[in-house]
Amino acid sequence: METRADFSKTSQQLRTKNTTRIICPNCGNDSDFFEVADGVILTTRYIQNSDGSFVQDGDESQILGEMRLFCAECNEDLTGHHQRFVEMLF
């Protein structure tokens, strides 16, 4: 437990140190963003039980289009930063 806590603390420090934060060039927001997926097919598989109820049995959704990134403050298109966003997604 102790080792694990130490490790996560260290990796967080490294991450902060080496990261260029995404900052909206329009309004300066660097904390709130949203991601938009184009052309999404939502496919969810269900199994019907003997009593007629359903349970979800997997999610086979596909994203066909582009993933785009926007500033949540001013809606500026930040898709140019999307690759970095994905890399920094934990």
CB 44 within 8 A of CB 57: no
Which residues inside 66-85 make contact with Zn ion, applying CB under 5 A?
71, 73-74, 76
Tell me the pairing of strands 40-41 and 33-37.
unpaired
- Give the interface segment with Zn ion, choosing from 9-17, 18-26, 52-60, 62-70 (CB under 5 A): 18-26
Question: Min. distance of Cβ 30 from Zn ion in angstroms?
Answer: 9
Helix and strand counts by DSSP (H, E) for the chain: 2, 6
Cβ–Cβ contacts within 10 Å for residue 2, how many?
A: 6
- Give the interface segment with Zn ion, choosing from 10-18, 22-30, 38-46, 82-90 (CB under 5 A): 22-30
Strand segments, DSSP code E, in 1-90 are 33-37, 40-41, 44-48, 54-59, 62-63, 67-71
Q: From residue 40 to residue 69, what is the string marking binding to Zn ion with x (rule CB under 5 A)?
A: ------------------------------
Q: Is 24 in the site for Zn ion (CB under 5 A)?
A: yes
Enumerate binding residues for Zn ion (CB under 5 A). Answer: 24, 26-27, 29, 71, 73-74, 76
